[in-house]
Chain A
């Protein structure tokens, strides 16, 4: 029984997490939601949540089978300060991937990172 267990340890090619596609999703949503938005510390928490949700929904519908998604949204005010963000993952690099996109306007920067982790 146990020995007969089979696992699908690699996603099908067409279901593989494609950063380019995801990035496009992110870009689209972020452009749509953030264009012309001024940084407002009151609204940003909610904004980032909704942003994350909508990105997640959109990516969910992109057909990445058996992927668990983590969406991270960071919105910060842009006042000329330096910002540096980086991430590190312990994952199976063959199947897992991430996509990120940065949106900048005069008053804020927004980084959306989507990590897709394949569920075996």
Chain B
């Protein structure tokens, strides 16, 4: 409230301005300070007179509003008294007041007021307790008397409403206030005028500055005494009004200030009048009046005294209440806005300055008030106590209060302050003579300001009243008890209310500052940061189709889809992938290898095939060997049995024969063919091949124009192991050294061909004849038309394997280890001799891998073939013959080729001159150059055969076309022996040493006579001659094995009919006889 007032004041009056005014006017009056300083003293000195001076004046002034005024004053006075003395108040002099008013006001104020009043009353009581028993009983009594009088006066009409007296009081006050409100402005103006007048009067009245000051002071002092009442009422009023109109309050107070004395007077007068009724009372009354008046002075004095005492007390209280006071003061200060507060302090300081001497008391008073208020707050629940002896105390307190009041005015109540200050500030000027000199302008200014302030206050007051009432209503329950309390308390209560609000504000402010501090402190410790923007919800919009499906999709419809190739639901391709494969083929498509897949598939297949082949190869290899063994075993046993029986039957037939067996040549494709050659492998002695010449006879088989070579196992006579095919006539043939895996042949067209017997049967042309399938193997390699430059230009008369062993090395009997040979690969030389004497050397090479597609560079190689011939060198061996001889005998023909078994560099070539030429392959000197007949000279005789002895490798037999047979050693030109007539002039067709006996050899002549020579028995003629006339023998080959376990020896006879008959020699010709080689030795030595 006060703060509000201050606010308003501040709003209208800037504190500086105000201060300036105050100062100025004080300065002008010059008495301001002094006045205050002196006030105390002067109070004591001559206050009563002063007051009296004033009172009449006031009275006179107040005559105007006598009626109401009286009432109000009386009321007030009574109220004051009541304040001091509760009981008194109970009777409530203002009962006269309309109940209605009371009621009206009751509604508004009663509860809170009551409470506060009561509180204050309690305080007052307490205070009065302090003073209880003081000298001021008198006044108490007076008061009591007054009270009694009042009671009487009011006839106790409304005793029931005793409690409400206060209220009534207040109502009165209110009413008065209301009335006053109306009058306020006028009064204000009046007051000012009055004050000025007063001052002037005072000045006039001869009271000089001091007096004036004194008076003023006294006034003040007095006023407090009156004002104690007044103040209460004022406070009350203020409180009440404060809610509504501070300005009103001010005005009232201002009015009251002046009215106080008047009131007293009136009261007195009234009492006087009434006094007639009850003397004692009147006496009392007058007394009281006197005392009232003098008592005021007394009180003043007393007050001073008391102030002395009270100072102590106050100090005590001060001390006691220091804290609360502080608090309160603080509270008050805080409750006020800071600026107003400051203003106020400034003001205070100003006033303090001016009130220097009083400051203590003022402060004390302040303390008091604060105490008051605090105790108000504190002692809400206190019980009432007798207040009889209150007065002094109350007086004392009133003094304090007054000071308080001043303080309050200064501090709290801007408008009041304004009024008062200005009164004070302005009063002095009128008091001072300088006052007069204060320019009218200034006064006008002040008046204007005041008016403005009033207006402002009114405004604010109305604003505030609502707030404060509400606030008060909150407080009301607390305050309800303080009803009886005097008015003056109310003003303090007003303060208290302010305190509540202020407290709240203070608390909130405290809290806020605290929190601010807290936050600043905390913020040092804490880092606040922006969190990442968190996505709380993200519902994507549903697309139209989904929406449709969601809303309508479930009604009478069914969504379905089908996709083949379900794994690829996400792919658009729904068809099977097209498989692509590349293949190739080749003509002639004779075997399955002639076609295949390309690149990867081929590789894959090839790999598969390879793997397959690998397995099947192993299997077939195993089967091949195993089946061969089995078949051989079976056939052997069978053949043996057969041959045995045959031998018995045919024993008489061939004298040398121990038995015979016939190879089954009655095969459809062999039918009608002439067998030109039979040849045994030197290593695999049971392997034989027969060369079947092409036939002109028509046959069911279309191979007529081809030469067939059949590879036989003599133990397996039922059928040939392999059948080789070649388009042209084969002149000569031989097996590979070591294992009989390769077959070489020289043809009449000059080509040298080669068969690899290891090739798969599947790779060759297969012909089904009858019920049996026969595989006809084409040559693996052919030199025909491929190596035109190096190939033979005439028919090849002889092919011979160049022995790989060095001179004096491997004996032909000792077979090379098959495995060794095979693993090391084929590596040997082949020599081919054609009729024109060209000797070609070939290197037999085995390729590591067969190429099914055939070799692009080596066109002679059959697709899938692994072995080929590389031309190494060629020699012309026929130059030796002198041209003269050639003219005489015709061109030299080289017919037969043999290598020295012990030294492959030496070769022996049989010619058509009956000579055997001796040559070397590496230009070594060959001695003798040739081997001749016994008689020197050249005869045109073909050398039909040359055969080295398997036992004595430097000895060889030469058979000639004239039927002569020569035995040569390598080292001599002339023969060791020569038998001219052994065949009766028939040309020798074939001549061969026996394999088991060194001294035995067989000779077949063209007359189909077979001569068996045994040099041990006879070195002049054959020991045995067989004439086979029935089926002429066209070729023969000796076979046999000198192995220790199963020594056998025999001769294969090829008949004209195409039969091949194997004749086993008898024991005589098979078993080696000791001294055979010596015989040969002796023959050699004898010959030379």
Complex Cα spacing A9 to B522, Å: 8
Contact with A along B521-543 (1 / 0, CB 8 A): 11001111111111111111110
Asked if B521 and A5 make an inter-chain contact with CB atoms under 8 angstroms apart, the answer reads yes
The answer to whether A111 has its CB under 8 Å from any CB of chain B is: yes
Interface check B546, CB cutoff 8 A = yes
Query: Which among B530, B531, B536, B550 is the interface contact of A85 at CB below 8 angstroms?
Result: B536
Cross-chain contact B526 with A83 (CB below 8 angstroms)? no
- CB nearest neighbor in A for B536: A85
Interface of B is mostly: mixed
Q: Is B68 an interface residue (CB 8 A)?
A: no
The residue from B525, B531, B540, B541 contacting A89, defined by CB atoms under 8 A apart: B531
Q: Does A78 sit within 8 A of B, measured CB to CB? A: yes
Q: Is B529's CB under 8 angstroms from A85's CB? A: no
B604 interfacial by beta-carbon distance below 8 Å: no
Question: Within 8 Å of chain A (Cβ to Cβ): is B517?
Answer: yes
Q: How far is the CA of A66 from the CA of B625 in the complex (A)?
A: 99
Q: Is the CB of A92 within 8 A of B528?
A: yes
B193 to chain A, nearest CB (A): 57
Pairwise interchain contact B541-A86, C-beta atoms closer than 8 A: no
**Please, how many angstroms separate the alpha-carbon atoms of A113 and B547 in the complex?**
28
Residues of chain B within 8 A of A85, CB atoms compared: 535-538
- B residues 541-572 touching A (CB-CB < 8 Å): 541-542, 546-547, 550
B534 and A83 contact, CB distance less than 8 A = no
With known contacts A7-B521, A80-B550, A87-B533, A109–B526 Cβ distance under 8 A: no
Contact A86 B525 (CB under 8 A): no
Q: Within the assembled complex, what's the spacing in Å between the Cα atoms of A9 and B530?
A: 18
Q: Complex: how many Å from CA A34 to CA B534?
A: 24
Distance to closest chain B CB from A17 (angstroms): 13
Find out whether the CB atom of B526 lies under 8 angstroms from the CB atom of A9.
yes
Which B residue's beta carbon lies closest to that of A74? B537
Q: Are B546 and A87 in contact (CB under 8 A)?
A: no
User: How many residues on the B side are at the interface (Cβ–Cβ under 8 A)?
Assistant: 25
Asked if A29 is at the interface (CB within 8 A of a chain B CB), the reply is: no
Cβ-neighbour of A78 out of B518, B533, B538, B539 (below 8 A): B539
Asked if A13 is an interface residue, CB under 8 A from chain B, the answer is no
Q: How far is the CA of A32 from the CA of B853 in the complex (A)?
A: 83
User: Considering the chains assembled together, what is the distance between the CA atoms of A9 and B521 in angstroms?
Assistant: 11
In the complex, which residue of chain B has the Cβ closest to the Cβ of A72? B536
B residues in contact with A2, CB < 8 Å: 517, 521
- B536 x A90 contact (CB < 8 A): no
How long is the Cα–Cα vector from A86 to B534 in the complex, in angstroms? Answer: 5
Between-chain CB contacts (< 8 Å), 13 pairs: A7-B522, A9-B526, A74-B537, A84-B538, A86-B533, A87-B534, A90-B529, A92-B528, A93-B529, A93-B531, A98-B531, A111-B536, A111-B537
Interface size class of chain A, counting residues whose CB lies under 8 Å from the partner chain: 20 to 34
**A91 and B539 contact, Cβ closer than 8 Å, known pairs A2-B517, A7-B522:** no
Residues from chain A with Cβ under 8 Å of B518 in the complex:
5, 7, 120
Instruction: Give the residue of A7, A92, A109 whose beta carbon is less than 8 angstroms from that of B527.
Output: A92
Task: Write out the residue numbers on chain B whose beta carbons fall within 8 Å of the beta carbon of A87.
Answer: 533-534, 536
Which residues 123-169 of B sit at the A interface, judged by CB distance below 8 A?
none
A residues less than 8 Å from B540 (CB atoms): 82
Whether the pair A120, B534 counts as a contact (CB closer than 8 A) is no
How distant is the Cα of A37 from the Cα of B751 in the complex, in angstroms? Answer: 106
Give every chain B residue within 8 A of A104 (Cβ-Cβ).
539
Closest to B541 in A: A82
Q: State which of A9, A78, A86, A92 has its C-beta within 8 Å of the C-beta of B536.
A: A86
Is A69 interfacial (CB 8 A cutoff)?
A: no
B530 nearest CB neighbor, chain A only: A90
B169–chain A nearest beta-carbon distance, Å: 49
Can you name the residue of chain A whose Cβ is closest to the Cβ of B521? A5
Q: State how many angstroms separate the Cβ of B855 from the closest Cβ of chain A.
A: 76
- Tell me which of A93, A98, A109 has the highest count of chain B C-beta atoms within 10 A of its own C-beta: A93
Q: Known contacts A88-B530, A92-B526; decide if A102 and B546 are in contact (CB<8 Å).
A: no
Nearest-neighbour CB distance to chain A for B550, whole angstroms, equals 7
Give chain A residues whose Cβ lies under 8 Å from the Cβ of B529.
90-93
Instruction: Give the Cβ gap from B833 to chain A, nearest Cβ, in Å.
Output: 103
**Among all A-B residue pairs, the 5 with the closest Cβ atoms:** A82-B541, A80-B542, A85-B537, A83-B539, A85-B536
- B residues less than 8 Å from A89 (CB atoms): 530-531
User: How far, in whole Å, are A85 and B540 apart by their CA atoms in the complex?
Assistant: 11
A83 CA to B536 CA, complexed, in Å: 10
Q: For the complex, is A100 an interface residue (Cβ under 8 Å from B)?
A: yes
Q: Is the CB of B522 within 8 A of A88?
A: no
Task: Flag A76-120 by CB within 8 Å of B: 1 or 0 each.
Answer: 001011111111111111100010101010000101010000001
Question: Which parts of A27-72 form the interface with B (CB within 8 Å)?
Answer: none
B533 x A83 contact (CB < 8 A):
no
Within 8 A of B (CB), among A13-32: none
Residues of A within 8 A of B537 (CB): 74, 83-85, 100, 102, 109, 111
- Let me know if B547 and A80 touch, CB within 8 A: yes
Other-chain contact of A84, B530, B535, B542 (Cβ < 8 Å): B535
Contact (Cβ within 8 A) A7 B525? yes
Q: Would B531 and A100 count as touching, CB distance under 8 A?
A: no
